[in-house]
Amino acid sequence: MKETKYKGKYLEVTEEIIGGHLYEKVSLRPGVRVYPIKENKILVIKEFRRHEGKSRWKFIGGWLDKDGKDELSVAKEELLEEVGMQAEKWQKFHTFDTGENTVTIHAAYFVAQDINIVDNPPQNPDLDRIEEVRWVTLDELWQMIDDHQLLWDFDALAGIQALRHFAKY
C-alpha cells in the first residue's frame, strides 16, 4: 500500500513496499515554462532565488498552484509578473511528462511571440528578485550552457528546440 510521507505545496513523497522492497517516489506539482522569442532571440532571466540562496540564469516559469488557472493562464501570468511583458501570440509546443516514475514531473512549454512591455506591471508575488533580463541567440544560449551559467536540463533543451523551430534564420 502506498503511504504519503510528505505533502507540501510543490511536491509529495510517497513510500510503497512492493515484493518486500521499499520504493520511494517524488511527485512535483505540474508547472509551465515560457520562452519569449523575438528577432531570432530567446529571453532568459537571472533571478536571485531566496530559497536557494543564490542567483542563477533560468527561463520564465511557474507552478500550477492557483485554483481555476490552466496552463496557458499561468504562463501568461508568469511572463507578466516576472518580466512585465505580454505576448499577442502563444503556442504550446511541448509537454514533458514522465508519467508515474520514481520522480514524476509534468511541465507545459509555451512560446510567446509579438512581445510588448507593459506599463506598471503587477508586482511579482514571489520573494525572488529578477536581477537581469537578456535576449540571447542560439549560439549565446549554447555558450551560457557551456560556461555553466545556465543549467543543462530539460528546460534548456526545450529552449534550444523552441529557438530552432520558432526563430527565423
Question: How many structural domains are present in the chain?
Answer: 1
CATH code of 128's domain: 3.90.79.10
Question: Comparing 154 with 123, which gets the higher pLDDT?
Answer: 154
Can you tell me the mean pLDDT for 130-156?
Answer: 97
In a domain, 113, yes or no: yes
| Domain encompassing residue 117 | 31-96+108-166
pLDDT above 70 (res 86): yes
Residues of the chain above pLDDT 90, percent: 87
Q: How confident is the model at residue 128 (pLDDT cuts 50, 70, 90)?
A: confident
In a domain, 69, yes or no: yes
Average pLDDT along the chain: 94
Residue 122, pLDDT score = 86
Pairing of the two strands 103-104 and 21-28 = parallel
Can you tell me the mean pLDDT for 69-98?
Answer: 96
Can you tell me the mean pLDDT for 67-89?
Answer: 96
pLDDT digits (tens, 9 = 90+) for 87-102: 999 999 999 999 889 9
In a domain, 8, yes or no: no
In a domain, 137, yes or no: yes
Q: Do the beta carbons of residue 87 and residue 36 sit within 8 Å?
A: yes
Q: Do the beta carbons of residue 65 and residue 32 sit within 8 Å?
A: no
Residue 39, pLDDT score = 95
In a domain, 125, yes or no: yes
Residue 169, pLDDT score = 63
Q: Do the beta carbons of residue 63 and residue 33 sit within 8 Å?
A: no
Q: Do the beta carbons of residue 152 and residue 68 sit within 8 Å?
A: no
Any residues with CB less than 8 A from the CB of 44 and at least 6 apart, and which?
Answer: 57, 58, 59, 133, 134, 136, 141, 144, 150, 159
In a domain, 66, yes or no: yes
Cβ atoms within 10 Å, residue 62: 19
pLDDT digits (tens, 9 = 90+) for 13-52: 999 999 999 999 999 999 999 999 999 999 999 999 988 9
In a domain, 19, yes or no: no
Model pTM score: 0.92
| DSSP-derived secondary structure for 93-113 | EEEEE--SSSEE-EEEEEEEE
In a domain, 1, yes or no: no
Residue 90, pLDDT score = 98
What's the CA gap between 164 and 40, in Å, rounded?
Answer: 9
